[in-house]
Amino acid sequence: MSCLTGCGSYKHAKMPEADEKGTVGCILFLRFCEVIVVGILAFAAKDNYQLVKDHDQLSRPPYNKNVILSQELLYAGSMAAFGWTFVGFGLILTWKGWAIFWYGLVDLTLSLVMAVGAAMQASYLPATLTTCKKADTWQVHGDYPSFFALAASYRSREDANDRCHSFVLVWILGVVVIVFQMLIAYIGIFSDIREYSILNPYRPFAWFVVIVFGGPYWLACATVRRSRFLYRLLKKVARQLRGCKPIEFEKPPKYVPNYSGIKISNPKLENIFNIEHLLLPIASNLHYDDLINLSLTSKSVREAVFPAGDYEHRVRKLKAYSCNNNTKSRCEYCNKQVCAECTQCARMPGLAGLRHLQLCRPSCTKCYFKSIRPGLRRTAIDKRQCRCWVSDASMQDHWICAECYAKSKFGFELQAARERRYKKQLREYAQGIGLPDGQKLECRTCKTEMQGGSVRWWVCSRCFGECTSHMHPAHARVMAPGDLEKGEEGDAEAPKTSWLKFFQWN
Ligand SMILES: [Zn+2]
Ligand SMILES: [Zn+2]
Ligand SMILES: [Zn+2]
Ligand SMILES: [Zn+2]
Ligand SMILES: [Zn+2]
């Protein structure tokens, strides 16, 4: 019987160890409780069975054809159960171990016989004694008397109501005895005291809990995951259908010098500036911002420092010579070349766009779906949305050029303009524009290349929560061809390369 504990290396789940004395005690108690009921049932069922057996009109149409069989089954089962009750008292005190299992099987057989009989009787008997008041009219067919009226006619001093009572009472007692027998059968069959046995008395409880609670839980888990995903996908699709408002920026008009209007006020100074190898050493001691300010002093100085004929080359050279080489960077707000010495610190709230660019990475739909846990509890990416935006509200140091610093008194406007640029950058980033050379936009988890025409899921690499900010596009229609990464050529204030090049990517 070792197979009851499991097959090969497989073992059933561990249950608490049972006590055989408890099993015997329970069976004795139940037997004691049912003995009188079984006795009454057995003799009352015998009486009913005799009546229907002696008068076979009761089981002919229009009456139920199973009347005799159903009464016989209940009678036989209850009479056997009555006898078995007395035998069982003796046997349960002497049988030990596996014998109790067979003891339970006997009770199960008896209860099944009675259950079949009672189930058949249910089709022609009322369920309660109170319904017997209508015994004369119960299931009447045409001119035939009711089943109970006909049965009563075979007995003197009995009417249909009394007969109905006799049949229904036996049926009710039968149900009570079946319950007792089933309980005894259960205790007898599941009487293996071993912890891993499939017949451990506690195992049916475990099954019951698994079926009643586990089934709905499993179903809920499976559907919750899909419905969560579907809900979020629908939100993305809705945003995609609404479309993105295009973000346009005004390009500064190209400077065209009017040579006829240029007056040279200081020819010596102009001559020095006109000679490039004299201008560049001067520029090396200046900041780029100073050169721009210098060029603003007069049209002739502007033409000397930023000559229209050689504009692009001159800008490149001046940028290379000016500012401190070790700390050269770009102003966060206007992208002008700055260095540590020509920037000023403005205290302003953080820029959400910068955070998204630095921290939020795309996830493919497959990886995103996997990140939604099947359970009801939300964990990992699915646990919560990225809440790093809380830190945006705190005041931070922004090292910016003097011009932007002057505007920082109206910080909101300055920042709103920059956020618009970040929004544009995030849209470009979703399409793979502006990534460092040779780098492709890929899923943060499986590293597969992100395709155009798909939904974009964003995950924060600081808190690992999903970023649902509307600064990110919900969808990328197409991916950028490689050469879009190359920066546009422009004037001194316009970036030489895509803005994205100037951010730390990882
Ligand atoms: Zn500088
Ligand atoms: Zn600036
Ligand atoms: Zn984000
Ligand atoms: Zn976050
Ligand atoms: Zn992936």
The per-residue pLDDT for range 307-317, each reduced to its tens digit, is 877 888 888 88
Asked whether residue 226 is assigned to any structural domain, the reply reads no
> Which ligand has its closest atom nearest to the C-alpha of 363?
5
Q: Do 421 and 493 share a domain, yes or no?
A: yes
**pLDDT tens for residues 110-147?**
999 989 988 888 888 887 878 778 777 777 777 778 87
**Distances in Å between the alpha carbon of 427 and those of 242, 247, 383, 500?**
15, 10, 26, 11
Among the bound ligands, the one closest to the CA of 407: 2
Q: Are residues 76 and 176 in the same domain?
A: yes
Cis, peptide link before residue 62, omega less than 30° from 0: yes
Query: 379 versus 67: which is more confidently predicted?
Result: 67
Selected residue with higher pLDDT from 200 and 284: 284
Q: Is residue 305 part of a domain?
A: yes
- Closest alpha carbon to 16 in 167, 168, 206: 206
User: What is the per-residue pLDDT for 126?
Assistant: 80
Q: What is the residue range of 357's domain?
A: 348-501
| Tally of residues, the chain | 506
Average pLDDT, the chain: 80
Q: How far, in Å, are 48, 366, 430 from residue 117 at the CA level?
A: 13, 58, 73
Reply yes or no on whether the pLDDT at 348 is more than 80: yes
Tokens of 328: 């050269």
> Quick check: 197 and 78 in contact, CB under 8 A?
no
**Quick one: 152 and 102 in the same domain?**
yes
Give the residue with greater pLDDT, 160 vs 181: 181
- Residues paired with 466 in a beta bridge: 385, 459
Residue 228 belongs to a domain: no
- Is the separation of the CB atoms in 417 and 404 below 8 Å? no
Nearest to 262 by CA among 286, 295, 310, 288: 295
pLDDT classification of 360: cutoffs 50, 70, 90: very high
- The answer to whether residues 301 and 294 touch, using CB atoms and an 8 Å cutoff, is yes
pLDDT for residue 446? 92
How far does the centroid of ligand 4 lie from the alpha carbon of residue 461, in Å?
7
At residue 121, the 3 state secondary structure works out as helix
Most confident of 99-108, 252-261, 294-303, 455-464: 455-464
Q: Which residue has the higher pLDDT, 497 or 452?
A: 452
Q: What is the pLDDT of residue 100?
A: 81
Q: Residue 250 has which token pair?
A: 């005004």
102 domain residue, yes or no: yes
Give Dmax (Cα) for the chain: 147
Residue 458 within any structural domain of the chain: yes
Asked whether residue 387 falls in the same domain as residue 311, the answer is no
> Residue 460 Cα, ligand 3 centroid: separation in angstroms?
6
- Give the whole-angstrom CA distance, residue 51 versus residue 41: 15
Q: Which of 157, 172, 201 is the last residue of a domain?
A: 201
Q: How many angstroms does the Cα of residue 423 sit away from the middle of ligand 2?
A: 18
Ligand closest to 367 (CA) is 5
Q: Are 433 and 500 in contact (CB under 8 A)?
A: yes
Q: How many other CB atoms are there within 10 angstroms of residue 274's CB atom?
A: 15
Give the Cα-Cα-Cα angle 93, 98, 102 (nearest 5 degrees): 80
Is it the case that residue 38 has pLDDT exceeding 50? yes
Residue 483: pLDDT above 60?
A: no
- Asked whether residue 174 falls in the same domain as residue 98, the answer is yes
φ/ψ region of 343 (left if φ > 0, alpha if ψ in -120 to 50, else beta) reads beta
Same domain as 357, residue 298: no
356 C-alpha to center of ligand 3: Å?
A: 4
- What are the pLDDT digits (tens) for 204-256? 788 888 888 888 888 887 788 888 889 889 999 998 888 878 887 777 677 67
pLDDT at position 493 is: 39
Higher local confidence (pLDDT), 374 or 338: 338
CA distance 60 to 12: 53
- The CA 421 to ligand 1 mean position distance, Å, reads 23
| 272 pLDDT above the threshold of 60 | yes
* 193 and 263 part of one domain: no
Ligand lying closest to the C-alpha of residue 326: 1
Q: Are residues 165 and 307 in the same domain?
A: no
63, two tokens = 């009456």
Query: If we measure between CA atoms, which residue out of 44, 100, 94, 108 comes closest to residue 71?
Result: 44
Rounded CA-CA distance 130/324 in Å is: 105
Phi, psi of 150 (to 5 degrees): -65, -45
Percentage of the residues of the chain whose pLDDT score is greater than 90: 8
Judged by DSSP in three states, 343 sits in strand
> Residue 362, SS3?
strand
Q: 3-class DSSP state for residue 504?
A: coil
Closest CA to 366 of 458, 446, 473: 446
183 with 293, same domain: the answer is: no
The model's confidence at residue 89, banded by pLDDT at 50, 70 and 90, is: confident
- Domain's final residue, options 201, 227, 242: 201
* Closest to 435 in 3D by CA, of 417, 421, 449, 453: 449
**Shared domain check, 354 and 399:** yes
* Total number of domains constituting the chain: 3
- Nearest bound ligand to CA 356? 3
- Output the CA 356–ligand 4 centroid distance in Å: 9
CA–CA dist 399, 406 (Å, integer): 12
Q: Is the pLDDT of residue 4 over 70?
A: no
pLDDT of 482 over the 90 cut: no
Confidence grade of residue 484 (pLDDT, cut at 50, 70, 90) = very low
Do the domain assignments include residue 211? no
Per-residue confidence band for 260, with pLDDT thresholds at 50, 70 and 90 = low
- 265 domain-assigned: yes
Query: Per-residue confidence at 486, pLDDT binned at 50, 70, 90?
Result: very low
Looking at 280, 306, 322, the residue that finishes a domain is: 322
* Lowest-pLDDT choice from 7-21, 40-54, 449-463: 7-21
- pLDDT band for position 5 (50/70/90)? low
Task: Provide the ipTM.
Answer: 0.91
Q: How far is the CA of 413 from the centre of ligand 2 (A)?
A: 13
Task: Name the least confident of 72-86, 168-182, 276-290, 414-428.
Answer: 276-290
Residue 340: inside a domain: no
| Phi, psi of 140, rounded to the nearest 5 degrees | -80, 135
CA-CA-CA-CA torsion sign (342, 345, 346, 351): positive
How many angstroms is it from 432 CA to the middle of ligand 2? 26
Distance between Cα 327 and ligand 2 center (Å):
16
How many Å lie between the centroid of ligand 1 and the Cα of residue 425?
Answer: 26
**pLDDT tier at 363 (50, 70, 90 boundaries)?**
very high
Residues 33 and 170 in one domain: yes
Judge if 366 and 449 occupy the same domain. yes
Q: What is the mean pLDDT of residues 472-485?
A: 69
Are 363 and 443 in contact by the 8 Å Cβ rule? The answer is yes
Distance (angstroms) between ligand 4 centre and the Cα of 462 equals 5
pLDDT at 502: 38
